[in-house]
Structure 1
Amino acid sequence: MRSVLIRAAGSVLLAVPMFAAAHPTPVETFPLSDVQLLDGPFKAAMERNAKYLLELDADRLLHNTRKYAGLEPKAELYGGWESQGIAGHSLGHYVTALSQQYKATGDRRFRERIDYIVAEMAEAQRGYGDGYVGALPPAELETLRGLKQGKVEPRDHFFFKNGAWVPWYTQHKVLAGLKDAWVLGGNEQAKAVTLKLADWVDSVTAGLTQEQLQSMLSVEHGGMREVLIEIHYLTGEPRYLATANRFYHHAVLDPLVAGRDELAGEHANTQIPKITGAARSYEVTGNADDRAAAVDFWKIVVRQHSWVNGGNSDGEHFFVPNTASSHLSAATAETCNTYNMLKLTEHLFTWQPSVEYADYYERALYNHILASQEPDRGMFTYFMSLKPGHFRTYSTPFESFWCCVGSGMENHTKYGEAVYFHGTDDLYVNLFIPSALTWREKGFAIEQRTDYPRGDRTQFVVKQASDRPMSLRVRTPAWATRPLTIEVNGRVIGNEAPPGSYATIIRTWKKGDRVSVTIPMAVRTEEVHGAPNTVAFLYGPLVLAGDLGPAPRSETVPYAKDQVVNLKAPDFPVPTLAATTEKALAAIRRLPGDQLAFKTQGIGQPSDVTLRPFPDLHYERYNVYWALKPATP
């Protein structure tokens, strides 16, 4: 067993025991506290989100927690999903977001909010009396407590027969939030509350037969297996692993272990947390079937079920492979799906450092996660519409609280977690994001400055170094047009690492060393599955979308309480491109000026189109996939 010190603003708060994993990974990510974002779009998004986190009223999110524990609420309940059967899911996400923000910045305002919420939840846990704590309304809590008497009555994939809406899904968010308050937020009281709640989960599920458990798991249950495995890892207690494995859903995982794609028709975000649970199980227990399920699922989803922006699903569900072209709807690419796919991708990269994993992570990060945040008030998308001529719908600050609002709160607190990875003496640079890294164990620090992907260069300066050789491994994206050009202290060095590999610089680094990297980029196309002549345009990691002008403002545009209110908006005319793929690429020109923008030349009908980075089109109608129709002679 080893202990990890949880620090805040330089002071040690507590030690968290970490028991040895069965399968240590060859590379690891860095703690959020070791990667500081520098000025750029990701830092701006993080700061915008931080402002929103502090605008939220903890007492309003705690309303149900106090009410159903027999305590007087201190503030009115929020609206939207927080006033429905899924109430409490936002509270859990919120505590995780606060914990990640605090870990990443050391800002005491977030620690104070964590401490207040945990103390309130500890008081409520005493009021509930059996170890439970959360915000579930009576039907949902009755359903989970009823499991202890063997009462398992699912109605469908989202409800039990008494109308209870995904109670384990909601409870996972609360348990994960408390665990993060303990581990990331450094709150010792959160540990006690977390373990009592985990004990309660054990108590209500321990008497169920395997048949009853699988029936229970037919209803969406979030990442219950994952968080319980993590609690087992933190404590070394076997009962938490046993409890976690009661959430192993055979109907979904067994086909993946056998290498079969049976995802068509499945609710996408119900399944992805089951796979992140499998990934964590492999790391902690060494279960080879869990590894197989995780690896195959990622390949199936990314290669067969994903859109060009890294998202997946239509109407929240996976569709039949190679039919994407018939699913270009306003309900594509649920944001929660990508939140969870990036979690899974990070696991897989630590097992096998592959550019394919890093390329996908970058694509989804820019074109879905960063794009999902509205730049004025910091609000969140549910769906990332790919319907031609459609637009984005964002949440309201206090009357939505969709699932994607909860995961969205987390998304923008953790941009530093996958920029760099490390092996024993290897530093992997996966993302070209302005940032400062401190590798404490090696006494090594480096800064990265860049305007990528609007520019094609990123520069590193060594701020601290030891006297031992170390490898700097820089990702060469698979889409790069040729190997990276690398300069060390002003001199070009030889590099033959092809696109899709890592360019490696091995040297004994010195303070002040400078590395400049040029990433060669060009406009390219990517076909949509099922329609060879329907393509999206990309430049580097960015999807380029046609800017079709502002979406008309209304009571539901850009902000809406209901995430589906704009799905049936009238069709909007989209220009066609009269060209083959080759001619279309030749007809696209970059526009002059500081902003990244392109325009077609002579192929648009009835007019040519300006193409802008998809993440930038927050308030516009846009088009991503173009049906190329070569002009007749």
Structure 2
Amino acid sequence: MQLLRSVLLGTLAVASLAANAATPPVTAFGLGDVELFDSPFKQAMERNAEYLLSLDADRLLHNTRKYAGLQPKGELYGGWESQGIAGHTLGHYLTALSQQYAATRDQRFKARIDYIIKEMAEAQRVYGDGYVGALPAKELATLRGLKQGKIDVKDGFFFQDGSWVPWYTQHKILAGLRDAWTLGGSTQAKQVTLRLADWVNDVTAGLNEEQLQTMLSVEHGGMREVLFDIYGLTKDPRYLQTAQRFEHRAILNPLVVGRDELPGKHANTQIPKVIGAARGYEVANQLEGRPIAENFWKTVVHNHSWVIGGNSEGEFFFSPKTASEHLSAATAETCNTYNMLRLTERLFGWKQQVEYADFQERALYNHILASQEPKQGMFTYFMSMKPGHYKTYSTPHDSFWCCVGSGMENHTKYGSGIYFQASDALYVNLFIPSRLRWKERGLELEQHTDYPRSNRTTLKVTKAPSGSLALRVRVPSWASADATLTLNGKALDLDTKPGWYATVQRKWNKGDVLDVTIPTSVRTEPLHGASDQFAFVYGPVVLAGDLGPAPDGPTVPYAKEQGANLKAESVAVPTLSGDPEQLAANLSRLPGEALAFGLTTASPRKEITLRPFHELDYQRYTVYWKTTPAENAE
């Protein structure tokens, strides 16, 4: 603690320390540098793109125009867009459009971005003070009242006047504008972004420290992060000072020293605060941001996460020892994993640890990919861990939950975590069919694989870089033995142990082919605090028991309300008998191309198929199994 700058420093002291940024030594490639080949990830991206284009921009802009005194051009959407949190979807939508455009250069998305920004600029002009958004009158009055020091909090989500998380909603707008500027290529978005950031500065500048901390007790999304981003883009110290006003010390102080005070706290309220601290470390060299982010990540991933990579129950963290009491239908809010992945990417840039990439892989396959419904591209809110339950998806026009907004973003950026670049090295973190174009080094690389159905991936150099370059390929920690690498058909003598980067340093030539084989087997992972409950995992994918089709009904598979099926009955799940690891070793892969295994249960005795969790879209399932000692089986 003595080695760290105190988190209690005031904004002026912070500004004086912010001359140099803590530039990460390793960074992700731009979305446009990575092209996805056919795979479940590309298919998810294409479904999502169709949904983005199916939405009516004028309907999403309804409240932006209405509350500015302009005539709406489209009918208001339903669900959360017709409630006090209205407008959050518009911000997410701008980000999703911008990421899709950055990844594909599809002009349909660029046209949509430009139209929305033009409309928002007009609303901002009418407001006259720099504000733009879709906050209803009550929520906007709450934020404007801050300028007069009016802060009256009810709880973690509402002010006393009933306004619902206005900063949370406004963050989505500001982040969407930032992305339209930086990814969507809109020069007008830059102007709108900075005027709105100036407004945030104006309404918060007069608040003292006590008032700020009271304000921050209400969920406020990633306001600190996006303001740090704007500071990083402009180097204007006003935005640095504004960002610091969103430093919630009650949450961040314990994390500096690694104390786990998360049980009982709303999970996704906290993750953006930690990402904000990480951005403060990166763009303003605020040293405490790094231990805050690293300690939080370790605590959540190691102690508070389900096997699929998601966390929480009923949106809240709980004691790890009580996980078996929280296997409900309200587990693993998808927004949480969206934000944990964003944090993970930053941490990998600071320190290239395989466990960061392992988590990214786990969460992408088992939560994010699993969260999309394959017919209409709809989204889950909770990812039910309740044995014998099923998934519930949003409706196209009458849900617009927070996880719909973040879901729109999730499926536009699958290319962002596959490869990472250092000055002298290329990291291959994920095994997803794709093409990388590293313009600065003159390298083009193709990856071909049927992973995880097979345990092999092939990397082919289609354009050779200048000079020597280290190619560092992740050997996952879950690998059952050392990986095998061959270059142009010849075996390489390398350190390829699990949890390590196998490094090939050479002058690469066009046509070089590096084949990577990762020994893979079924293993088990226990449920926190429950010695008799566990999940089956094969490589990166969680294997869930297919228990037959989900019931037909008006809220299955699509529901307007995210909680529509939380109390729905689940079917009984058979128990297993014996040692979990022995059960895993005895599983037999079923014939055919599909990744599936046969499992014989003990009570009642029956045959069940284990499939990748992300493939169980409309079925009842169980992720966690109970086992009894073999001698006690019926």
The answer as to 2:35 corresponding to 1:31 is no
| SS of equivalent to 1:609 | strand
Residues 496-521 of structure 1, C-alpha deviations (whole Å, 9 max, x = no match): 32100000011100111111111110
Q: Quick check: 2:484–2:496 contact (8 Å CA) kept in 1?
A: no
In structure 2, how many angstroms separate the alpha carbons of the residues matched to 1:561 and 1:321?
32
Match for residue 13 of structure 2?
Answer: none
Q: Quick check: 2:324–2:529 contact (8 Å CA) kept in 1?
A: yes
In structure 2, how many angstroms separate the alpha carbons of the residues matched to 1:365 and 1:467?
33
Match for residue 333 of structure 2?
Answer: 334
For residue 605 of structure 1, report the CA deviation from its aligned partner: 2.7
| SS of equivalent to 1:611 | strand
Match for residue 431 of structure 2?
Answer: 432
The answer as to 2:505 corresponding to 1:495 is no
In structure 2, how many angstroms separate the alpha carbons of the residues matched to 1:548 and 1:601?
13
AA paired with 1:456? N
In structure 2, how many angstroms separate the alpha carbons of the residues matched to 1:100 and 1:467?
30
In structure 2, how many angstroms separate the alpha carbons of the residues matched to 1:496 and 1:165?
54
Q: Quick check: 1:81–1:400 contact (8 Å CA) kept in 2?
A: yes
The answer as to 2:122 corresponding to 1:123 is yes
Alignment gaps of 5+ in structure 2: 1-17
Match for residue 62 of structure 1?
Answer: 61
Residues 546-572 of structure 1, C-alpha deviations (whole Å, 9 max, x = no match): 000000121100000000010001131
Residues 194-251 of structure 1, C-alpha deviations (whole Å, 9 max, x = no match): 0000000000000011100000000000000000000000001000000000000000
Match for residue 530 of structure 2?
Answer: 531
In structure 2, how many angstroms separate the alpha carbons of the residues matched to 1:590 and 1:322?
33
| SS of equivalent to 1:307 | coil
Cα distance change of structure 1 residues 21 and 330 upon mapping to structure 2, 3 Å threshold: farther
In structure 2, how many angstroms separate the alpha carbons of the residues matched to 1:466 and 1:562?
52
Match for residue 190 of structure 2?
Answer: 191
Which is worse superposed, 426-435 or 623-632?
Answer: 623-632
AA paired with 2:160? K
Q: Quick check: 2:171–2:223 contact (8 Å CA) kept in 1?
A: yes
For residue 603 of structure 1, report the CA deviation from its aligned partner: 4.2
The answer as to 2:243 corresponding to 1:244 is yes
Match for residue 265 of structure 2?
Answer: 266
Cα distance change of structure 1 residues 528 and 393 upon mapping to structure 2, 3 Å threshold: same
Match for residue 416 of structure 2?
Answer: 417
Residues 64-102 of structure 1, C-alpha deviations (whole Å, 9 max, x = no match): 000011100001100000000000000000000000000
Which is worse superposed, 584-593 or 537-546?
Answer: 584-593
In structure 1, how many angstroms separate the alpha carbons of the residues matched to 2:449 and 2:141?
53
Q: Quick check: 2:600–2:606 contact (8 Å CA) kept in 1?
A: no
Which is worse superposed, 204-213 or 464-473?
Answer: 464-473
Residues 435-490 of structure 1, C-alpha deviations (whole Å, 9 max, x = no match): 10011110011000111001111111101113411010000000001111111111
Q: Quick check: 2:601–2:608 contact (8 Å CA) kept in 1?
A: no
The answer as to 2:431 corresponding to 1:455 is no
Residues 339-376 of structure 1, C-alpha deviations (whole Å, 9 max, x = no match): 00000000000000000100001000100000000000
Which is worse superposed, 128-137 or 573-582?
Answer: 573-582
For residue 321 of structure 1, report the CA deviation from its aligned partner: 2.4
In structure 2, how many angstroms separate the alpha carbons of the residues matched to 1:490 and 1:167?
59
In structure 1, how many angstroms separate the alpha carbons of the residues matched to 2:603 and 2:43?
35
In structure 1, how many angstroms separate the alpha carbons of the residues matched to 2:304 and 2:126?
46
AA paired with 1:494? D
| SS of equivalent to 2:260 | coil
Q: Quick check: 1:578–1:605 contact (8 Å CA) kept in 2?
A: no
Residues 6-41 of structure 1, C-alpha deviations (whole Å, 9 max, x = no match): xxxxxxxxxxxxx98521111111000100111111
Report percent identity of matched pairs. Answer: 66
Q: Quick check: 1:32–1:414 contact (8 Å CA) kept in 2?
A: yes
For residue 604 of structure 1, report the CA deviation from its aligned partner: 5.8
| SS of equivalent to 2:321 | coil
In structure 2, how many angstroms separate the alpha carbons of the residues matched to 1:171 and 1:601?
52
Alignment of 1:31-110 (within 5 A): 31-110=30-109
Cα distance change of structure 1 residues 60 and 21 upon mapping to structure 2, 3 Å threshold: farther
AA paired with 2:358? D
| SS of equivalent to 2:316 | coil
Alignment of 1:585-624 (within 5 A): 585-601=584-600, 603=602, 605-624=604-623
Match for residue 139 of structure 1?
Answer: 138
Match for residue 7 of structure 1?
Answer: none
In structure 2, how many angstroms separate the alpha carbons of the residues matched to 1:466 and 1:154?
58
Match for residue 407 of structure 1?
Answer: 406
AA paired with 1:449? H
Cα distance change of structure 1 residues 139 and 25 upon mapping to structure 2, 3 Å threshold: same
Q: Quick check: 2:310–2:363 contact (8 Å CA) kept in 1?
A: yes
Which is worse superposed, 460-469 or 247-256?
Answer: 460-469
In structure 2, how many angstroms separate the alpha carbons of the residues matched to 1:602 and 1:565?
31
AA paired with 2:264? G
Residues 534-554 of structure 1, C-alpha deviations (whole Å, 9 max, x = no match): 110000000000000000121
Q: Quick check: 2:525–2:536 contact (8 Å CA) kept in 1?
A: yes
Residues 139-180 of structure 1, C-alpha deviations (whole Å, 9 max, x = no match): 100000010111001100000011100000000000000010
Match for residue 8 of structure 1?
Answer: none
| SS of equivalent to 2:151 | coil
In structure 2, how many angstroms separate the alpha carbons of the residues matched to 1:585 and 1:604?
17
Count of matched residue pairs: 615
Q: Quick check: 1:21–1:233 contact (8 Å CA) kept in 2?
A: no
Taking structure 1 as the reference length, the TM-score comes to 0.96
In structure 1, how many angstroms separate the alpha carbons of the residues matched to 2:599 and 2:513?
38
In structure 1, how many angstroms separate the alpha carbons of the residues matched to 2:59 and 2:40?
31
| SS of equivalent to 1:323 | helix
In structure 2, how many angstroms separate the alpha carbons of the residues matched to 1:326 and 1:481?
31
| SS of equivalent to 2:392 | coil
The answer as to 2:158 corresponding to 1:165 is no
Match for residue 288 of structure 2?
Answer: 289
Alignment of 1:142-157 (within 5 A): 142-157=141-156
In structure 2, how many angstroms separate the alpha carbons of the residues matched to 1:345 and 1:414?
14
Q: Quick check: 2:442–2:466 contact (8 Å CA) kept in 1?
A: no
AA paired with 1:75? G
| SS of equivalent to 2:226 | helix
Alignment gaps of 5+ in structure 1: 1-18
Residues 252-271 of structure 1, C-alpha deviations (whole Å, 9 max, x = no match): 00011122110010000000
| SS of equivalent to 1:226 | helix
| SS of equivalent to 2:300 | helix
| SS of equivalent to 1:147 | helix
Q: Quick check: 1:52–1:378 contact (8 Å CA) kept in 2?
A: yes
For residue 58 of structure 1, report the CA deviation from its aligned partner: 0.2
Q: Quick check: 2:19–2:284 contact (8 Å CA) kept in 1?
A: no
| SS of equivalent to 2:288 | helix
AA paired with 2:139? E
Alignment of 1:212-611 (within 5 A): 212-601=211-600, 603=602, 605-611=604-610
In structure 1, how many angstroms separate the alpha carbons of the residues matched to 2:586 and 2:508?
45
Taking structure 2 as the reference length, the TM-score comes to 0.96
User: Aligned Cα RMSD in Å?
Assistant: 1.1
In structure 2, how many angstroms separate the alpha carbons of the residues matched to 1:342 and 1:173?
17
In structure 2, how many angstroms separate the alpha carbons of the residues matched to 1:353 and 1:553?
47
